Amino acid sequence: MKKKVLVTGGAGFIGSNFCNLNCEKYDVVALDNLFLGDSENLNSAVKFIEGDACKLSDLKKCGEKFDAVLHLAGTSSAPMFGGDGFVDGYRNSVESFCQTLKFAHDSGAKKFLYASTSSLYGNNPMPLVETQMVIPPNHYACTKFLYEQCARCFTQQFPEIETVGFRFMSVYGPNEEAKGQFANMISQFVWDVARDESPVIFGDGEQFRDFTNVVDVVQGITRAIEFDGKLGSEIFNIGTGEFATFNEILEIINEAFGKNVSAIRIPNPVTEMYVRGQEADISKISKTLGYAPTVDLKSGIRAQVEQLNFKKIRETSSDRLKKSGKILS
């Protein structure tokens, strides 16, 4: 019999890719309040429920029994905590996490899997490894730190449910249009170049990230769901172990389009705690779950360019520069 899997934030970027890639393997239900998601991201084989993961009544609409629950809902990037977003950002993330975790346990799920973040590492020495001490550099990372600690305590209290966290590196791939200004820089640069507009690069463009295709993020999570051994409340990096600079990314995107759009370079407006570089150590997930990245950057970006739907593009980095003169990263 197919496993029954609930995905909160299922119509979002990573959630929709997980649901679409796994809708034959699992009986998948996607819950999303469409704050940043789009139900059109989902295949027809995925059961979609519009609702709020903070509300038990909405979680119950998804079903009574689940084998695994994947929690991806929440306030999904640091800039969303700015200004008026501070209290609501915490409330949405913490409340949806606790409510979904309790629901997962009560629904008989053996595994609760959740998104943490590589942002927790800040500017730690590279390669970034799970055993490093982390001091969350911003409110967004604080919520993920809380997730990790809360999950550990929950499994300690209720060992019948394992709680597995993933520190995703910088994830790119299709279905990010609904995130607009909060999308990954690869998506934003693709949308810019598609419209022959100059992407905006902070500083010299030599900052680098461990860009990880969403297909491999889904691979890592799926391996954890399938894993037969004990995982307890383990935390895993999901990345590639490689990195590319923003300048290199723009080159690859131009190549994929057959264009030569140049960047607008502005002084970096993020003056505190800006992450200069990121490169993951992926030995833990590789040894434990047999994970290995399968999508190289050039093929992943080419595929994203081929799948691009112009009608869905909402806002590019150059739109925002025009509007405000500064951009959130």
Q: Closest by alpha carbon to 179, among 298, 57, 313, 45? A: 313
> 36: which 2 tokens?
């940043």
Rounded CA gap, 163 and 243, in Å? 29
**Rounded least distance, CB 50 to ligand NAD, Å:** 9
Q: Which is nearer to ligand NAD, 54 or 161 (CB)?
A: 54
Q: What is residue 199's DSSP assignment?
A: P
What's phi and psi for 165, nearest 5 deg?
-105, 150
Specify the residue, 92 or 233, whose C-beta has the smaller distance to ligand NAD. Answer: 92
Shortest separation between residue 41's beta carbon and ligand NAD, angstroms? 8
From the CB of 37, what's the least distance to ligand NAD, in Å? 2
Helices (H), the chain: 13-22, 56-61, 85-106, 139-157, 185-194, 214-226, 246-257, 283-289, 297-306, 317-324
**How far apart are CB 259 and ligand NAD at their closest, in Å?**
25
Q: Which residues are near ligand NAD by CB under 6 A?
A: 8-9, 11-15, 31-37, 52-54, 72-74, 76, 92, 96, 115, 117, 168, 170-171, 179, 184
Between residues 13 and 198, which has the closer beta carbon with respect to ligand NAD? 13
First to last CA, the chain: 44
> The tokens of 29 are what?
């239900």
Least separation in angstroms between CB 194 and ligand NAD:
20
What the block records as the tokens of 260 is 């030569």
